[in-house]
Structure 1
């Protein structure tokens, strides 16, 4: 059973829905059906949503692999929390006019670092399990 991954996936889904509603709200406000229509606020919202959608699936896959292979739940939870924090910080940074590049950088550092750690831990855990 994927207890931690399921919880993190639910939290991330709520965040994705919120980002999606932000795009929808701005599309309605500015009457833009496709693209950003040259509206900076909408462009930021679209990129925040798209960036989120680009990074979340691989993180959840790596978390699920780690959890299914029997890694400690506390370890997966810490990595999941770090990833969620990174995605929140990034989304906040990109959506604030003018964009707060420091928040975007911090958010991406959390995101990328978590992904790297997930890859390393998955490979290490796999090797550990194979050598038993």
Structure 2
């Protein structure tokens, strides 16, 4: 198995997820400046949603990126890493969009959670499979 190709696949999704984190952080900063809130959410619903969208991403993305990196290290094929990375990334984007627009349950938010969990379960299953050579 070409570990370098696997690493390149994982690097793509890691890079995209990191860009997403930066975008979400910038959105928090924009809301803070717009509403002159330096700490906490100031009771501003839009800022609360931006903080939660960023916070939720930071809760899931690091573990998922570790999973992708480990898949690359054990030589999982890029054709396994790419779909998992895509599902993870799309899930995180959907969740962030859904949560940023409304604090109520939304289709985008639910689909984002489901996609994130599917990617994590797929990673876990693949890692367990590759743990036994």
Q: TM-score per shorter chain, which class?
A: over 0.9
Residue 31 (structure 1) aligned with residue 36 (structure 2): yes
Match of 1:7 in 2: 12
| Aligned-residue CA RMSD (Å) | 1.1
Unaligned runs of 5+ in 2: none
Equivalent residue for 1:51? 56
Cα shift at 1:122: 0.4
1:122 equivalenced with 2:120 (yes/no): no
| 2:99 equivalent in structure 1 | 94
Query: Which of 1-10 and 68-77 deviates more?
Result: 1-10
2:12 pairs with 1:42: no
Query: TM-score, structure 2 length as denominator?
Result: 0.92
Do the aligned partners of residues 112 and 76 (structure 1) sit closer, same or farther apart at CA in structure 2, a change above 3 Å counting?
same
- 1:71 aligns with 76
Return the structure number with greater relative CO, CA threshold 8 A, min gap 6: 2
Question: Deviating runs (4+, > 6 A) in structure 1?
Answer: none
Tell me the distance in 2 between the aligned counterparts of 1:72 and 1:99.
Answer: 39
- Any stretches of 5+ residues in structure 1 without a counterpart? none
Instruction: Count how many residue pairs are aligned between Structure 1 and Structure 2.
Output: 128
Q: Is the contact made by 2:49 and 2:103 (CA closer than 8 Å) also made in structure 1?
A: no
Q: Could you tell me the TM-score, scaled by structure 1's length?
A: 0.92
1:50 & 1:95 partners in 2: Cα distance?
12
